[in-house]
Structure 1
Amino acid sequence: MAVCSFMTSVRRVVSQHHQLKLVIVVRQDLKMGKGKIAAQCSHAAVSAYKETMKRDPQALKAWESAGQPKIILQCKDSRELDTLHEHSRAIGLTALLVRDAGRTQLMAGSTTVLSIGPGPSDKIDIVSGHLKLL
């Protein structure tokens, strides 16, 4: 009975939050290798998960129940990444910048990727809908 009650609760949260997703935006001007991009996106996903767990655990459960949709997009440079970050936060989305430790390809402190969400797809699309897929 507890599982049934939990699933009913999750379905209610999903319907309240509509469709949820996590978007990760990768800077293209850094010319990161595939492995570096994968590592930076992983940092972004884990950080977004932890932050959403603190801010909105019900939305996190709903996102998990929906299959944890993730979209990887690209932007041209740090200026565009910063603008996306500011816009996301201004409309109430969880948005986190990832900065490189500087152990391999990049200078320490280089901003590499931005996570937006997990959050409502329609709200995230306001910020990132114009970006191209990586």
Structure 2
Amino acid sequence: MNNSSVAVIETHYWYGNNYLSPFISEKYPVFDNRKQWLGCIWNARPVDNLTAMSFIDPKKSSVLTTRLDHPLFTPAELDVIFLLLRRFSAKEIARIYDLSVKTIGNRITTLYQKAGVHSLQQFESYCRAESLENYLPERFLSTGVIYI
């Protein structure tokens, strides 16, 4: 008999939505007086988006989202932004999308122009101000459970 709790990250189509979302789930076993297992209590909440910058530049708490409508950027551009904010190089991004490095370089230049910036550092600041760092492209997720 194991009466310890377990915490997992579950990625599913929560609440009947048609998009994937990651949730932290905590499950606690429940036993009767004779130590017979009755079932479990389960609690789930959206995954908090904590980064090192959260401690340096505190702001309201946020959660990861797979749905984001931004007035400047297309869904495909948001996917590239996700990789840029994780410091993927143009070469790495090109490999993921099976495109040329020059094509990805042009896309990055377009992103900078739309944001009105000239460097990755400025772009990162812009993305933090726009809460774009909370976006997690659904193409990088799959349904399932990860034990933590």
Q: Does TM, normalized by the shorter one, top 0.5? A: no
Coarse TM-score class (shorter-chain normalised): under 0.3
User: What TM-score do you get using the length of structure 1 for normalisation?
Assistant: 0.24
Which has the higher Rg, Structure 1 or Structure 2? 2
Greater share of helix: 1
Q: Which has the higher contact order (CA 8 A, sep 6+)?
A: 1
